[in-house]
Amino acid sequence: MKRLPLDDSFKVNRNPITLREIVLDKLRSAIMNFQLLPGDRLVERDLCDRLGVSRTSVREALRHLESEGLVEFADARGPRVAIITLADACDIYELRCVLEGLIVQLFTLNAKAKDIRALERALEENRKVLEEGELQQVLDSVQGFYNVLLEGSGNHIAATQLRQLQARISYLRATSVSQANRRGNSNQEMERIVEAIKSGDPLAAHQASVDHVRAAAKVALDYLKSKQDETGTVREIATPIALKEPRIGR
């Protein structure tokens, strides 16, 4: 049998983007699952050894997590897991009230029947996962619910703004759903959002969304307050702007 020459198809193609994404996902998950805690130092050499990857891959992942607000380069000692202060958390929850309230209103006005069916499926999936799933599965299911809302709202700018906050929102969400009794209450609040949407009432949907964020905020902020040595009191998460009919027609 005649030997055929080895051509370029024999070459193993290493995809550095895929490797970077894997490293990024591993580090992000470790932070979300509280395997790495706020303030923990992130020593590149140690991370390289534990992940089995190059320093370049780790450094790129850390810089990306810095842009998400999960890692900070606070001093000359190098990167650490970001500390989300009470003030930071309040700011994030207030912004969530504004943006998610708008998204839910617009979804109520603009969503098609298939979008509402997708939202109902996401709600049911969330209910199942909340009963028996691991923390990461819970976070994924909640994000799946919000992804439907973002896509069906028709406001891509608001959706982009929320996605830019996603990592820190997920971290605070992980903090809240890890507390006793929060899982069941969370799904009931989301169910009220869906029912208001199905009734075609954008103001009721907005209020249900704000109530959901405020309930999550109380649990998370109470926990952060118990863990951080800060003086003063945690300010209440204000209801953003007076409820008004959003613009109709696009």
pLDDT tens-digit map of 55-100: 999 999 999 999 988 999 977 788 999 988 889 999 999 999 999 9
For residues 146 and 209, state if they share a domain: yes
Residue partners of 150: CB distance under 8 A and separation at least 6: 103, 159, 162, 163
Q: Does one domain contain both 212 and 156?
A: yes
Task: Quote the pTM value.
Answer: 0.77
List the CATH number of the domain containing 149. Answer: 1.20.120.530
Whether residue 245 lies inside any domain: the answer is no
Range of the structural domain that residue 55 is part of: 15-81
pLDDT in tens, 167-176: 899 889 988 8
Tens-place pLDDT, residues 16-57:
567 888 899 899 988 888 888 888 999 999 999 999 999 999
Number of structural domains found in the chain: 2
Whether 207 is covered by a domain: the verdict is yes
In terms of domains, do 70 and 163 share one?
A: no
Q: Are 90 and 72 within one domain?
A: no
